[in-house]
């Protein structure tokens, strides 16, 4: 019987592991399998440079940061396993987690499975990932490779507007590519983008290819008109997908409360999801900030909630 099991090895999961390990709860962390689409370590494993995580004045690569977070938790007794939970039974106590045919029982569960950025599905998106292709302007937009350069943002919602406005602070020019003739975004956000002197909106257009090479990374995109089918090339050094994220919550459908997009719902200021001893943290329940540092902060909150819940049960 485990006292704490944590699903997810990203910033939220590792921070939860650190705090519960320091509380002598000997957490077991399921990171996922190396063959899974969701990489162990979360989205930071696909980020080359992280400049906005506290404590690293010169920046650090995503994989190095995750290695540091994991080692710190392990130093206090957290155990990490490359396994993926395939089903759960949270209807009775103890809580039961299944890894294929293996069964694990635990008193508390912290869900930190994160979210996966949506892309268009182009092969070139994967080829140039971290070489000009990104899904987080806040994470990557201020990097030297993008400053003073031409960038492309794909999307038409509020997220795309926010990304474009942020990038415009650093870029020479930003092109927002949208497949329709008006944005899905709120009018105020759309108007800000349309009227921004450093932003051009490419209406009724889609990106159907990204160009580049192994040395320079992204060098341009090919735009295709949704009305005429005609194509043209646009030179740029950065491509930012802003078409949303998919929370990794399929396992909890019809088990835990979610919003219409699939993000887990937590109660009030706590990380509880409504089932005693079950907590959620990080991007799996955050559809607003989605930053490594906010994920880490909520991982701390979930760990403290879990420890206090255990104390209340054991002291009853």
- pLDDT tens-digit map of 120-147: 999 999 999 989 999 989 889 999 999 9
C-alpha 260, offset from chain centre: 18
Please, which pLDDT band fits residue 245 given cuts at 50, 70 and 90? Answer: confident
Please tell me the least confidently modeled range out of 10-14, 34-38, 76-80, 292-296.
34-38
Q: What is the pLDDT of residue 46?
A: 65
Active site residues: 136, 139-140
Backbone phi, then psi, for 146, in 5-degree steps?
-105, -15
Which residues, 6 or more positions from 136, have their beta carbon under 8 angstroms from its beta carbon? 43, 47, 117, 240, 290
pLDDT for 38: 46
What is the pLDDT at residue 36?
42
DSSP 251: G
Look up tokens 């349309």; give the residue.
Answer: 194
Q: How many residues does the chain have?
A: 316
- d(CA 109, CA 4) in angstroms, rounded, equals 6
Give residues with Cβ within 8 angstroms of 9, minimum separation 6. Answer: 29, 30, 31, 32, 40, 41, 42, 66, 70, 80, 112
Give dist(CA 7, CA 284) in Å, integer. Answer: 11
What percent of the chain shows pLDDT beyond 70?
96
Q: What is the pLDDT of residues 43-93, one digit of tens each?
A: 777 666 788 899 999 999 888 999 999 999 999 999 999 999 999 999 999
Residue 23 predicted with pLDDT over 60: yes
**Residue-wise over 108-131: b if at least 16 C-beta within 10 A, else e?**
bbbbbbbbbbeeeebebbeebbeb
Kindly report the average pLDDT of the chain as a whole number: 93
pLDDT for residue 41 is more than 90:
no
Question: In terms of Cα–Cα distance, which of 22, 183, 9, 198 is closest to 113?
Answer: 9
Positive or negative, the CA dihedral 114, 118, 122, 125 is negative
33/7 Cα distance (integer angstroms): 12
- What distance in Å separates the CA atoms of residue 298 and residue 210, rounded to the nearest whole number? 36
Domains of the chain: 2-116+245-314 (3.50.50.60), 119-241 (3.50.50.60)
pLDDT at res. 35: 44
Rounded Cα distance between 92 and 111, Å, is 17
Query: Rounded distance, CA 239 to CA 299, Å?
Result: 30
What is the C-alpha radius of gyration for the chain, rounded to an integer number of angstroms?
A: 21
DSSP secondary structure string for all residues of 85-120: --EEE-SSSSEEEEETTEEEEEEEEEE---EEE---
Q: State how far the Cα of 211 lies from the Cα of 65, in Å rounded to an integer.
A: 30
The strand order across the sheet containing 133-134 reads 133-134, 238-241, 150-154, 173-177, 199-202
Residue 297 above 60 pLDDT? yes
Local structure of residue 148 (DSSP, 8 states): T
Token pair listed for 214: 């192994």
CA distances from 26 to 5, 17, 76, 99 (A): 9, 8, 8, 19
Mean pLDDT to the nearest integer, 291-299: 95
* pLDDT score for 182: 95
Q: Residue 100 corresponds to which tokens in the numbers above?
A: 């294929």
Q: pLDDT digits over 186-202, tens only?
A: 999 999 999 999 999 99
pTM of the model: 0.81
Name the strand (E) or helix (H) holding 123: helix 123-127
- The DSSP secondary-structure symbol of 289 reads -
């Amino acid at each position: 019987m485990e006292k704490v099991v944590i699903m997810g090895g990203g910033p939220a999961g590792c921070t939860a592991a650190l705090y519960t390990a320091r509380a002598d709860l000997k957490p077991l962390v399921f990171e996922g399998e190396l063959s899974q689409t969701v990489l162990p370590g979360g989205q930071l494993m696909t980020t080359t440079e992280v400049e906005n995580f506290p404590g690293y004045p010169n920046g650090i690569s995503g994989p190095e940061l995750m290695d540091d977070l994991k080692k710190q938790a392990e130093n206090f007794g957290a155990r990490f396993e490359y396994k993926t939970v395939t089903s759960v039974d949270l209807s009775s106590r103890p809580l039961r987690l299944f890894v294929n045919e293996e069964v694990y029982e635990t008193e508390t569960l912290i869900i930190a499975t994160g979210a996966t950025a949506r892309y268009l599905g182009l092969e070139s998106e994967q080829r140039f990932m971290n070489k000009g292709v990104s899904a987080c302007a806040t994470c990557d937009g201020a990097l030297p490779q993008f400053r003073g350069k031409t960038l492309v943002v794909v999307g038409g919602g509020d997220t795309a507007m926010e990304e474009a406005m942020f990038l415009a602070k650093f870029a020479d020019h930003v092109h927002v590519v949208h497949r329709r003739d008006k944005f899905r975004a709120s009018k105020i956000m759309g108007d800000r983008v349309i009227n921004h002197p450093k932003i051009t909106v490419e209406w009724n257009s889609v990106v159907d290819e990204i160009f580049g090479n192994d040395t320079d990374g992204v060098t341009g995109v090919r735009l295709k008109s949704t009305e005429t089918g005609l194509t043209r090339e646009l030179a740029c050094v950065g491509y930012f997908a802003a078409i949303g994220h998919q929370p990794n919550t399929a396992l909890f459908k019809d088990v835990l409360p979610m919003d219409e997009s699939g993000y887990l719902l937590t109660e009030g200021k706590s990380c509880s999801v409504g089932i005693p001893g079950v907590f959620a943290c990080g991007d799996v329940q955050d559809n607003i900030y989605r930053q490594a540092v906010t994920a880490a902060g909520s991982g701390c909150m979930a760990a403290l909630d879990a420890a206090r819940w255990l104390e209340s049960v054991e002291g009853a």
